[in-house]
Amino acid sequence: MQYYSLHNKAPKVSFSEAVIKGLAPDKGLYFPESITPLPKSFFDNIENLDTIEIGFQTIKQFVGHEIPENELRDILKDVLSFDFPVIDITKNIGTLELFHGPTMAFKDVGARFMARCLEYFNKDNDDKVTVLVATSGDTGGAVAQGFLGVKGVDVVILYPSGKVSDIQERQLTTLGQNITALEVDGVFDDCQDMVKKAFLDESITNHMKLTSANSINIARWLPQLFYFVFAYKQLKNKGKEIVFSVPSGNFGNICAGIVAHKLGLPVKHFVAATNVNDTVVRYMKTSNYEPKPSKATISNAMDVGNPSNFIRIQQLFDNKFESLKSNFSAYSFDDVTTRDAMKEVYNKSKYIADPHGAVGYLGLKEYDLQENEYGVFLETAHPVKFMDIVEKTLNVKIPIPPQIQKVMNKQKVSIKTNDYKKLKEFLLK
């Protein structure tokens, strides 16, 4: 499998090169040269396959021959070592829980997969690789945990000061070892801009190997397609058409779902549910893409004004607006509406949704499901990660799971920075 830049001004590269580079030299995102649908028999018989086999069959064409089959299966055994259950909320709505991993967020799978791939590619190499990543919330903790102690890899995480939850901050600032957190005086888009600038700065890249663990990296982005296939396996016997509503910030997760659809996964429609950061929602109404600075919300992981992965979604539909519009919708909701949705879900089913899951639920309500459709909203993080918001909104007490308890009393360590010059100084020292 070869990967090309969506700016089309850089040479094609292998899977390993795309993982290690992160971003193409022409600033473009890497994209697979082809997506070959799986045989219909794969989906017809999916209930007879276990999680590892499903993962292997759906990802192997993207990895190619660069990781031997037995090694790739071992990576998947490590990455997919927890459950991904669909929980019924109402008669025709369920939630796909993606928070049963080590940091209790959906990004655990992509971060762990990328870490294991990078470890494999770097096993005979004494050169250090620095993973540089921006986070609006859960990416930081998942990347920190996924790469913790990985040989030959240093991790530098940029996060916006005061704009991630307390638990999210602890998960990325308390691990030590090969993990460093930079606390940026700004918003997520400032962090992401600094990361992109570093990748294009030859005075940095000529001196060190730099890669990203944001969803711009194919090894972080593509494994997220597993979730949608796992959900289909559980829902197949309902005999209904499936609509996925995905809480969307940088749009990597929903983009991976569309890749699963291109592999042959039966999906009726995709809904991108966003908070007030509505760049894609406005685009779907006007066909004009006009990013705006991000605004802080209670669903902070989606506080993204210029989502990187939307260009990949456009490419998946051959850059044809009408084709995109027939398969994909986008809706925006404010914090008041989000809190109301959290209450509605809890009152209907006693299910505690975090703010991001509640936005996903709202996406399904806006889409207006038909009798022959079953809607799935993705619950992307455990509600404990937004404890103050959830407990205050629902008047409930959330028990703290073991994964979270182990970081609660650890000392936060971060380096404060407010401009690119300081980031560059830190990287080069």
Residue 126: C-alpha distances to residues 103, 122, 152, 153, 261 (Å): 29, 8, 7, 10, 39
Instruction: End-to-end CA distance of the chain: give it in Å, rounded.
Output: 36
DSSP 137-176: SHHHHHHHHHHTT-TTEEEEEEEETTSS-HHHHHHHHS--
Residue 418: C-alpha distances to residues 6, 75, 159, 165, 294 (Å): 30, 37, 11, 20, 17
CA distance 135 to 121: 25
CA distance 261 to 263: 5
Contact present, 304 and 294 (Cβ < 8 Å)? yes
Q: Is 60 a catalytic residue?
A: no
DSSP letter, residue 381: B
**Residue tagged active-site, from 12, 21, 107, 410:** 107
Sheet containing 30-32: which strands, arranged edge to edge? 13-14, 2-5, 30-32
**Judging by DSSP bridges, how do beta strands 373-379 and 93-97 pair with one another?**
parallel
Contact present, 58 and 226 (Cβ < 8 Å)? yes
In this structure, is the dihedral angle defined by the CA atoms of residues 156, 161, 163 and 169, taken in order, positive or negative?
Answer: positive
DSSP 225-281: HHHHHHHHHHHGGG--EEEEEEE-SSSHHHHHHHHHHHTT---SEEEEEE-S--HHH
If you compute the radius of gyration of the chain from its CA atoms, what whole number of angstroms results? 20
Contact present, 302 and 247 (Cβ < 8 Å)? yes
In this structure, is the dihedral angle defined by the CA atoms of residues 328, 332, 335 and 338, taken in order, positive or negative?
Answer: negative
Interior CA angle at 46 toward 42 and 48, to 5°? 120
- Token reading at 418: 């407010």
- Token reading at 220: 């972080």
The residues that are catalytic are: 107
